[in-house]
Amino acid sequence: MSRLLQLAAVLLTMVSVAASAQLVSPKVKKEKKHKENVEWLWQYGPPPADGRENALVLDPRFRPFLAQYLTAPQTFWGSEKTGYKPLAETALDFLSVPDKVIADDNRYLSITGCVFRFCPDRGLLWVDLGLPQPLIVFSAIDWIKDSKTTIEPDAEYTLWVFSNRAIDPAQIPAALTRSVARWTAQPSSGSTVIQKIRNAILVDPDGQPHPIPPASIGANTLTQPQAQTQTEQKENP
């Protein structure tokens, strides 16, 4: 009988220990939000990196970068019959002839270029590197084909703006509007004519378009001399 009592006591002790173990909550490690690794872009921006625009486009990380962040559907580059290109490939087309890489405020990069053999169609890739999850914006100036020819001063264009996160049309980042203002105040390569932005369309990551006044994002808000002066001040502080 005493052995049975001893065995019962042992079993009760084991059950008690097991129950206590279940009551102790396991320590769960909180996942920290890590800053996404896009810092490699910075090597192409600040001085003395001037003149490395071609190297940026050819960097093996550039295409995957575009594919990761530019995923919204687009319906301006291509056609219903032939199909529309993915946004990342569209951006690459609009930056295929590199123009400039400009750094602003130790935080923002503005990467510009144009379409091969048709520089009136131009692209701007703007990156805010000061955020844990960077804000990436691709803007395209696209010629409105039923307007004047691109060599005429009255030719008109649509500005398409895509981002990796939705941007409130009423709260467009000031640094982005400054970059667009500087960009649209410069003529396309081989031209002296400032492009006239008739329409501006802000597109959400899910493809929802929002027509906005071109001036609200900085388009055609600077004259060419002002833009040149600002650029010269940055290059020759």
Angle between helix axes 224-235 and 174-184 (nearest 10 degrees) is 110
14 falls within a domain:
no
**pLDDT band for position 49 (cuts 50, 70, 90):** low
Q: 196-203 and 83-84: which strand pairing?
A: unpaired
CB 81 within 8 A of CB 132: no
- Most trustworthy range by pLDDT among 147-156, 169-178, 215-224: 169-178
In 10 A of CB 69, how many CB atoms? 26
Query: Which range marks the domain in which residue 226 is found?
Result: 35-235
Name the pTM for this structure: 0.79
Summary mean pLDDT of the chain: 83
Is the pLDDT confidence value at 51 over 70? no
pLDDT at 61 over 70: yes
- Whether the per-residue pLDDT at 34 is higher than 60: the answer is no
Answer whether 138's CB lies under 8 Å from 91's CB. Answer: yes
Please report the pLDDT score of residue 138 as a whole number: 98
pLDDT of residue 50: 58
Per the domain annotation, does 228 fall within a domain? yes
Contacts of 59 (CB under 8 A, 6+ apart): 40, 44
Q: Would you say residue 19 has pLDDT above 90?
A: no
Q: Over range 84-110, report the average pLDDT.
A: 95
Spell out the SS3 assignment of the chain. CHHHHHHHHHHHHHHHHHHHHHHCCCCCCCCCCCCCCCHHHHHHCCCCCCCCHHHHHHCCCHHHHHHHHCCCCCCCCEECCCEECCHHHHHHHHCCEEEEEEEECCCEEEEEEEECCEEEEEEEEEEECCCCCCEEEEEEEEECCCCCCCCCCCCEEEEEEEECCCCCCCCCCHHHHHHHHHHHCCCCCCCCCCCEEEEEEEECCCCCEEEECHHHHCCCCCCHHHHHHHHHHHHCC
What is the count of structural domains for the chain? 1
Q: How many CB atoms are located within 10 Å of the residue 114 CB?
A: 22
Q: Residue 56: inside a domain, yes or no?
A: yes
pLDDT for residue 80: 82
Instruction: Say if 30 falls within a structural domain.
Output: no
On the question of pLDDT at 2 being above 70, the answer is no
- pLDDT of res. 147: 81
- pLDDT band for 14, please (50, 70, 90 cuts): very low
* Spatial distance between the Cα atoms of 128 and 62, rounded to a whole number of angstroms: 16
Kindly tell me if the per-residue pLDDT of 6 is higher than 60: no
Interstrand relation of 209-212 and 196-203 (parallel, antiparallel or unpaired): antiparallel
81: pLDDT confidence band, cut at 50, 70 and 90?
confident
* CB-based contact 224:185 (threshold 8 Å): yes
pLDDT, greater one: 22 or 174: 174
Residue 185 within a domain: yes
Instruction: Say how far apart CA 88 and CA 62 lie, in whole Å.
Output: 10
Tell me whether residue 119 is in a domain: yes
Q: Would residue 21 count as lying in a domain?
A: no
pLDDT band per the 50, 70, 90 thresholds, residue 132: confident
Confidence at residue 232, expressed as pLDDT on a 0 to 100 scale: 44
Q: Is the pLDDT of residue 185 over 50?
A: yes
Domain contains 84: yes
In which band, very low, low, confident or very high, does the pLDDT at 31 lie, cut at 50, 70 and 90?
A: very low
